[in-house]
Amino acid sequence: MTELFRRLQRTPQGALSVAILLLLAFACILGPAIAPQDPEHIDFLGRFRPPGVLDWLGADQLGRDVLSRLLVGARTTIPLALAATLLGTLTGAVVGTLSAYLGGRWDEAIMRTIDAVMAVPGLLLALLIAAALGKSSGNAMLAVAIAFAPGMARVTRSVALTVRRQDYVSAAIARGERGHWIVLREMLPNVIAPVVIETTIRVAFAVMVFATLSFLGLGAQPPASEWGLMVAEARPFLHQAPWMLIAPGAAIALTAIGFNLLGDGLRDALNPRDER
Amino acid sequence: MNALSRRWLLTVATGLATGLPPLAGLAAAAGPAIGTPRRGGVLRISVDQAASVINPLLTRVNPEYLVTELLYSGLTRLTPEMVAEPDLAASWSANEALTEWRFVLRKGLTFHDGSPCTARDVAATFAAILDPRTASPGRTNVGPIDTIEALDDTTALFRLKAPFADLPVALAYTNARIIPAAIATGDLTRLSREAIGTGPFKLVSYEPDQRIVVARNPAYYDPARPHLDRIEVMVYPDPTAQASALLAGDTDLMANTTPSEFPRLTGAKGVVSLRIPSGQFLNVNMGCDQMPFSDVRVRQALALTVDRTAMVGFVAQGYGTPGNDTPLSPAYHFYKDMPLKKPDIATAKKLLAEAGYPAGLDLTMIASSTPSTRTQLAVAIREMAKPAGLRITVQTMPHATYLAQVWKKGSFYVGFYNMQATADAIFSLLYTSDAAWNETRWDNKDFDKLIDTARVTTDEAGRRVLYEQAQTMMHQQVPSVIPVFFDLLAAQRSWVQGYTLHPRGSVFRLDEVWLGADAPKRG
Amino acid sequence: MSVGWLARRCLLVGYTLLVVSLLVFGITQILPADAAVTLLGENATPAALAAVRLRLGLDDPVWLQYWHWLAMLLRGEFGTSMRTGQPVGPMMFVALSRSLLVAVLSIVLMLIVAVPLGIMAALRRGRASDLLAGLVSYLGVSLPEFVTATLLLLLLADRLQWLPATGYVPFAEAPLDSLRHLVLPVITVSLVMVAHVSRMVRSEMVDVLGSDYIRAARLKGLTARTVLFRHALRNALLPVITIVALDVGYLLGGIIVVEEIFAIPGIGRQLIVAIEARDLPAIQAGALIMAGTYAVANFLADIAYARLDKRIRYD
């Protein structure tokens, strides 16, 4: 693990991603403690105050401090996106592995059905599920997880199938190595690596889809300071207070970039043979 | 026959309602009407949402009212001063007890399909409106009608369940538009796609989410109106796009706009921005039939946490009037000017303690997501009530879910209403114990009695006394907190003449609009 | 490309639509709203509700309702909108045509930008332009459409006033104005795809340029230009067809957001309006038509791929 971390740090993407994600983790853990103001405190005279000494990133239509809302909002945005991805990956992995294990007609039926479900654009599926379950952050998380599951099932299935056929496994068997040694030493890292990379990149997607749901009014609800919702609330005031919109937009982008970079960094760190 | 009725009869006989001093004490923000109306031309008016329903009995939102007003006529219609003037009915009269009303139609009225419009069509239309199976919003708003009878081709007799002085105004209600008897008693669904009315315009094409086109009805009862040849109603669901279209000259008139667009329109060349105080309000409804709101002190405490002047800024971006917990704004005729409630956290805390909640209260306030000002209000009240120990959780939901699960049933939620034509209409719509939409389940017999008495009082001063008492009562008892009234905002190009922004919000009178010589020519 | 292969692909499209219809119907069944209440709004009386329930068959068992719906679909009908009382099918297909205009323009713009960008990055691997292309693609995949769209709106429409902010003008009415209104939406939608496709082109190009085949061509003495355009590009672009087809999924998702922001009355906006109004027939029709569009796009991509690449066997 430490070896992996060191390798990750050596690539520029890896180092940058670690820096970004540390910053975000910091905001998630300490956000409410370091927020300069109460994120929900309304201030009649401070409405639409531009960024400055009083509000570093400006204030919104109710006079609430944008920076404080951003810091506190990290908690309602990032952990839920992570949870959604993990849940989706887990479900997908179970289905995918099961499909690969069953093989034959079952595999065919499951995969064709998954293909069919994937014909519904991911965002639309998430929208429909979020609407059906009711508007809330928790339900939006479930919706993202369900929308992710088919894609992850596909990935895990193909990985499981290739790993089974891999030469090095046969070679290990031919060398006469014991069963659990093969699984631990040869198969597991090869199964886990692609899944971990895919999962990491998907966290970036989850952050975006989750924020999009909130933006469309189907995720987090006011007065929450979820970032997508903040953008949605800022939209009518585009002319008079653009800072209300730029700050949360940049935060979402930074998070997505962080996880995308981490995914790429992990790919390089885990597959040193791939020179691309 | 008493004084006021006689005056109405007089009004009607001269056919000039505007000749009277305005009953509602407010100046209408009018586009300048200079010179004599020019005939002809195409007007493009933009609205902010789809006119999904064009069956006049079933319309629910302002763009739908706009379209059906062009295609259909009622017996009476509302002037900007909120007075009933003749429309299809040329005159009317009531018996002494105000329980029987006769409406006499104009001669030779015809529907768009050429068939004659008679008192039988009037009777059948109102029967359909009052039939619960029709589910017309007008059912509870057209007055306490018991039966309607066609005495002859042009005379309709309305028998009421109770005396009612405001019937001519009530019959101007947005859903009370006359349709052919054959349809009213037969297949009402026909009117979801075609329009067979007596209105100044005929339907040409109908794309509910895009554009609705109407053209002059040559058989309209008044040969002088409408002035325009054609009106195109354009749907712009996005307020910025709607304002940009007016600024670019793609449209001539906006039926409404938002506070965020209004400053931009006001400053623009060739554009006249229109603004008028209205009685449109947001309120916080409290279930007066259950704990904790059954205790008047809890309601009073909440009312004392709200900074109403600030709320006008938070919710209406300054384009509004602070409310005083009565549904009558200064735009209403019988408005009573009382000192504005000021935030008083100490007293609010004291009231809560007396009511048995010294540690405060945990409450969940529900706000539908449409319009978004409901949520703004909820979030702002949540913060204002916090220091008094009222810990409010705001819960938002889609409008359809809200209607199904919360509206009229919930015990703490945000309501939103258009201005009504009369004080009686708003009180008996929302606050009397037998109100159609008694959301708060407030049951105050003294209040009911005031409203009932006022309904049959025709003497102006006597009526004022009663309505002022009713307002004082609501101000003190707070069945709902009414913190803010909205101004209606709109804009037009300078070449549009004769348009008046109507405080009711749902009346447009586009048959009186004409285009100046500098208007762009449109196919 | 045998008949059997084609038949199998068609069958798969049919199966896809069946699964999607079940999925969509299932989701609309658990939507938290009573369709009859939705239809009647504030003025629902018990009598009116009962009448509507009977008319819509809402009290039938769920499987029967599904069967009726499916039978209607097979007749080519999509039902009547609860919001407008108009037939849903024509409404959605008109909306789809507007969305497809945005989609096609986005794909065209994407190809114009992404392919040269990918090639350039591959040829100048490791140099500044490669890094720049990488940065662009990072931003592309990391900015959700609603952020890109609002930022573009802020910069190009609000501050610089170069383009109209929002709204839609029918192409037939004023072609130039219509296109001006489509610039921002199209840029927004194509950005994500530019990111995907330019990366794909780059990595395919790197592969192909390093392959024995190209090395052989070079040894034969062909010019760099011929090698690049006649041989390398053709092989590198083939997989792009697949990724474009797969990206139609993102495209349709992105279109929902973009139509909402720029007030384009396309199918995405219709869907959002339908979801907000709990207009079940419209939700069902919209979702099904969108999924159908995606399935057909993939089907077409498969055929195109098969025609272009004779080396792949289809059985």
- Please compute, for residue C155, the number of CA atoms within 13 A of its CA located in the half-sphere on the CB side: 7
pLDDT in tens, A176-192: 776 666 655 666 666 67
Tell me the two tokens of residue A253.
């982008």
pLDDT in tens, B105-139: 999 999 999 999 999 999 999 999 999 888 888 88
Find the chain B residues whose C-beta atoms sit closer than 8 A to any C-beta of A: 239-240, 258, 260, 264, 307, 310, 313-314, 369, 372, 375-376, 378-380, 382-384, 394-398, 401
Q: Beta strand pairing status for B230-235 and B42-47?
A: parallel
| pLDDT higher than threshold 90 for residue B176 | yes
Residue C314 lies in a domain: no
Same domain, C146 and C22: no
Residue C84 lies in a domain: no
Q: Which of C18, C45, C79 is the last residue of a domain?
A: C79
A104-117 helix and C3-30 helix, angle to the nearest 10 degrees:
60
- Provide the domain limits for residue C67: 3-79
Q: What is the mean pLDDT of residues A52-62?
A: 86
Tell me which chain B residue has its CA closest to the CA of residue C266. Answer: B209
Tell me the two tokens of residue B7.
């005056």
Cβ distance of B264 and A217 shorter than 8 Å = no
Window 244-273 of A: residues touching C by CB (8 A cutoff) are 245-246, 249, 252-253, 256-257, 260-261
Q: With contact defined as beta carbons under 8 Å apart, do C114 and C197 qualify?
A: yes
Q: With contact defined as beta carbons under 8 Å apart, do B171 and B8 qualify?
A: no
| Paired strand residues for C106 | none
- Residues B320 and A185: their CA atoms lie apart, in Å, by 72
A contact chains, 3+ CB pairs < 8 A: B, C
**What is the pLDDT confidence band of residue B44, given thresholds at 50, 70 and 90?**
very high
- Answer whether C84 touches B (CB < 8 Å): yes
Report how many Cβ contacts below 8 Å link chain A to chain B.
48
Q: Which residues contact B299 (CB under 8 A, 6 or more apart)?
A: B286, B288, B293, B477, B478, B479, B481
Same domain, C58 and C167: no
- Give me the architecture of the A23-41+54-274 domain, per CATH: Orthogonal Bundle (1.10)
Q: What is the mean pLDDT of residues A160-169?
A: 69
Under DSSP, the state recorded for B318 is T
B contact chains, 3+ CB pairs < 8 A: A, C
Q: With contact defined as beta carbons under 8 Å apart, do B355 and B286 qualify?
A: no
Same domain, C56 and C140: no
> Which member of B208, B399, B403 has the closest CB to residue C84?
B208
Closest-CA residue to B283 (of B257, B253, B308)? B308
> Which member of B258, B307, B379 has the closest CB to residue A62?
B379
Least confident of A136-150, A185-199, A209-223: A185-199
- Residues C147 and A252: their CA atoms lie apart, in Å, by 8
Same domain, C38 and C175: no
Q: What is the mean pLDDT of residues A224-237?
A: 88
Tell me which chain A residue has its CA closest to the CA of residue C148. Answer: A249
ipTM of the complex: 0.85
Q: With contact defined as beta carbons under 8 Å apart, do B120 and B49 qualify?
A: no
Rounded to a whole number, what is the distance in Å from the CA of B370 to chain C's nearest CA?
A: 10
Q: With contact defined as beta carbons under 8 Å apart, do B105 and B156 qualify?
A: yes
| Paired strand residues for C13 | none
Residue spans per domain, chain B: 6-20+278-486, 31-48+199-270+494-515, 74-188
Q: Beta strand pairing status for B211-216 and B201-207?
A: antiparallel
Same domain, C96 and C25: no
Residue C34 lies in a domain: yes
Residue C265 lies in a domain: yes
Same domain, C287 and C167: yes
Same domain, C100 and C169: yes
Cβ distance of B238 and C277 shorter than 8 Å = no
Cβ distance of A223 and B307 shorter than 8 Å = no
Spell out the CATH class of B6-20+278-486: alpha beta
pLDDT in tens, A127-143: 899 888 888 888 889 99
Residue spans per domain, chain A: 23-41+54-274
Q: Which of C49, C79, C109 is the last residue of a domain?
A: C79
- Rg for chain B (alpha carbons), in Å? 23
Q: Which residues contact C39 (CB under 8 A, 6 or more apart)?
A: C52, C56, C82
- For residue B380, list chain A residues with Cβ-Cβ distance below 8 A: 42, 62
- Answer whether C43 touches B (CB < 8 Å): yes
Q: Which residues contact A205 (CB under 8 A, 6 or more apart)?
A: A85, A148, A256
Output the CA torsion A99→A103→A106→A110 (10° steps). 30
- Residues B123 and B114: their CA atoms lie apart, in Å, by 19
Question: Within 10 A of B333 (CB to CB), how many other CB atoms are there?
Answer: 20
Indicate the burial class of C10 (C-beta count within 10 angstroms; 0-12, 13-18, 19 or more): exposed
Assign 3-class secondary structure to B52-82: CCCCCCCCCCHHHHHHHHHHCCCCEEECCCC
Position B74 scores a pLDDT of 96
Spell out the CATH class of B74-188: alpha beta
Name the domain count of chain C: 2
- Residues A269 and A14: their CA atoms lie apart, in Å, by 9
Position A169 scores a pLDDT of 64
Spell out a b/e string for C94-105, using b for 16 or more CB atoms within 10 Å of the CB, else e: bbbebbebbbeb
In chain B, what is the straight-line distance between the N-terminal and C-terminal CA atoms, in Å?
53
Cis check: omega of the bond before B226, within 30 degrees of 0: yes
- pLDDT tens, residue order, chain C (315 aa): 578 888 888 888 889 899 999 999 998 888 766 667 666 666 666 777 777 777 777 778 888 889 989 998 889 888 888 877 788 998 899 999 999 999 999 999 998 998 888 888 888 877 787 888 888 788 888 888 888 888 888 888 777 878 877 777 787 878 888 888 889 999 999 988 888 888 888 888 887 777 777 777 777 777 777 777 777 777 777 777 777 777 787 888 888 989 988 888 899 989 988 888 888 889 999 999 998 888 888 888 888 877 776 554 443
pLDDT in tens, B410-464: 899 999 988 888 899 899 889 999 887 888 999 999 999 999 899 888 788 999 9
Same domain, C199 and C299: yes
Tell me which chain C residue has its CA closest to the CA of residue A215. Answer: C146
Closest-CA residue to C312 (of C11, C16, C4, C2)? C2
- Give me the architecture of the B31-48+199-270+494-515 domain, per CATH: 3-Layer(aba) Sandwich (3.40)
- Answer whether C34 touches B (CB < 8 Å): yes
